[in-house]
Amino acid sequence: MNRPSYRRLGVDERRRQLLERGAELFTSHPYDELSMSKIAAEVGISKALLYHYFPSKQAYFEETLSAWAEQLRERTEPDPDLPPIEQLKGSLDAFLALVEENAIAYKNLIRSAAGVTEIRELIDEVRLKTAQRILEALYAQEPPPKARTAISGWLWFMDGACLNWIEHRDIERTELRDLLLGVLMGALLAADAVPDLA
Amino acid sequence: MNRPSYRRLGVDERRRQLLERGAELFTSHPYDELSMSKIAAEVGISKALLYHYFPSKQAYFEETLSAWAEQLRERTEPDPDLPPIEQLKGSLDAFLALVEENAIAYKNLIRSAAGVTEIRELIDEVRLKTAQRILEALYAQEPPPKARTAISGWLWFMDGACLNWIEHRDIERTELRDLLLGVLMGALLAADAVPDLA
DNA sequence: TTGCTTGTTGACCGTCGGTTGATAACCGTA
DNA sequence: TACGGTTATCAACCGACGGTCAACAAGCAA
């Protein structure tokens, strides 16, 4: 008689669909311009169902981007057999490639997603871990305050430069990579904290 | 008979009060944690009156900070009689002093910046103008792309380093200033774009 | 056909930024 | 002292947000 008024999917299938569509939407629109209602409408379900599968908008966002984060972690993992400088160079290349591939997503991420406390903490954590990775590679012991400040600033430099790069697209990726490397060295030099690299 | 249920102030007086209290509130709390209702309650008026004096929350916020912005502009205005390097040094000193004096406000500003569109645009504009000012001082013509990217990144570096500085407070202001100067030079060097300064 | 499981929904809540028409405080005047 | 006009002020409202909940119905097993 009556056709069903909605299609009933298995939990796994629905979940997969929501993560997939969510990734598409969240990477192509700023976080705060996407309401849960809009997402639900876009997918063709009710908002309540979204909240049945994810406890909050933030959590949904996080899960949605977890695949992306995993890729970031993997691809920027340095080759331990190489000398420190080369490790850094490789990681930077990988990072910039990822940014270039996902320019819009990166832009939206930096520009808007960080405003949500939990997400910002996530990004801060990535930055902090990256800083630690670099500092550990460069120093045996506790790094001096100026070096720590310099590295912290440099990571911000990276985001700023990447945004500018994406915006204008008038320099090569390798140029940007060398710029970033050079600035890092310059920063450590200016911090009177150039470690032994040779 | 009946005591008046509210006090009626002159436009100028009320306006001054709202700007004053607004400045206090906006510099001591993150932007998105302050609702217009809360502000109104805090001041002891209705929300509608707030909107009678200011067209929007953003505009209110901006006007509230305009005195601060004016101070920033004035105090960082370089002395044109000095050589470029000294101009920059002076501006940096002034900027860092201002940040140190208003550490909490600065922190709130930068932190809310990521997520709140209005603030982000405000800061982006300041960044852009500052970058232009620096580039104009350094180059006669249109700056090369790499230099532009480097400057843009450096401004982000500054914010990141300032936040780290405020957070830890374990280096001197002059040290940070020299670090920033050194990094700027390093960045321009890495961008193959060191201008004539001597 | 019935009944059970559970995926799914419409209606609701409090709060947000923002709007509007009525109200009442204050001042000039008589 | 009373009154009338100006306008500073407010209560009530709006649509949209993130989030919640009891109830419905799709699909399978009997």
Q: Could you read off the pLDDT of A34-77 as tens digits, one per residue?
A: 999 999 999 999 999 999 999 999 999 999 988 888 998 899 99
Please compute Rg for chain A using Cα positions: 21
> CA–C1' span, B90 to C24, in Å?
55
Which segment of A4-18, B41-55, B127-141 scores lowest on mean pLDDT? Answer: B127-141
Q: Nearest nucleotide to A32 by CA–C1' distance?
A: D17
Of the pLDDT bands very low, low, confident and very high (cuts 50, 70, 90), residue B198 is very low
Give the pLDDT score at A198: 42
DSSP H helix total and E strand total for chain A: 9, 0
Tokens matching residue B124: 């982006």
Report the SS3 class of residue B184.
helix
pLDDT(A87) > 70: yes
Q: What whole-number distance in Å separates Cα of residue B184 and Cα of residue A120?
A: 27
Give the C-alpha separation, A58 to A72, whole Å.
20
Please indicate whether, in this complex, the C-beta atoms of A181 and B161 are within 8 angstroms of each other: no
Residue range A135-146: mean pLDDT, rounded = 84
Q: Over 60: is that where the pLDDT of B115 sits?
A: no
Q: Which nucleotides of C are covered by protein (CB under 7 A)?
A: 6-11, 15-21, 24-26
Q: How many CB atoms lie within 10 A of CB B43?
A: 17
The angle at the Cα of B84, spanning B81 to B86, to the nearest 5 degrees, equals: 80
The whole-angstrom separation of Cα B106 and Cα B111 is 8
Tell if B34 CB is < 7 Å from nucleic strand C. Answer: yes
**Closest A-chain CA to B30:** A115
Mean pLDDT to the nearest integer, B111-119? 66
User: pLDDT per residue over A158-182, tens digit each?
Assistant: 999 999 999 999 999 999 999 999 9
Asked whether the beta carbons of residue B186 and residue A182 sit closer than 8 angstroms, the reply is yes
Distance CA A25, CA A60 (A): 12
Whole-number Å distance, CA B59 to C1' D5?
32
Buried-exposed string B117-146: b where 16+ CB fall within 10 A, e elsewhere: ebbbebbeeebeebbebbbebbeeeebebb
CA atoms within 13 A on the CB side of A93: 9
Name the protein residue, with chain letter, whose CA is nearest the C1' of C16. Answer: B35
Q: Tell whether the model's pLDDT for residue B86 goes beyond 80.
A: yes
Pick from A183, A145, A136: nearest CA to A162: A183
Q: Residue type for A128, please?
A: L
Identify the pLDDT of residue A115.
60
Inspect the interface and report whether the beta carbons of A183 and B153 lie closer than 8 Å: yes
Rounded CA separation A190/B16 (Å): 45
Give the integer Cα–Cα distance in Å for A48 and B155: 43
pTM above 0.75, yes or no: yes
Query: Which tops the pLDDT comparison, A145 or A114?
Result: A145
B62 phi and psi, to 5 degrees? -60, -45
Closest approach of B46 to chain A, Cα-based (Å): 28
Locate A141 and state its tokens: 């012991």
- Say if residues B160 and A157 touch (Cβ distance below 8 Å): yes
CB distance B164–A152 less than 8 Å? yes
For residue A152 the two structure tokens come to 């912290």
Choose the weakest-confidence range: A51-60, A108-117, B9-18, B22-31: A108-117
d(CA B35, C1' C16) / Å: 7
How many angstroms is C1' of D25 away from CA of A99?
A: 46
Whole-number pLDDT of residue B197? 53
Mutate to test the interface with A, among B183, B185, B188, B194 (most CBs of A within 10 A): B183
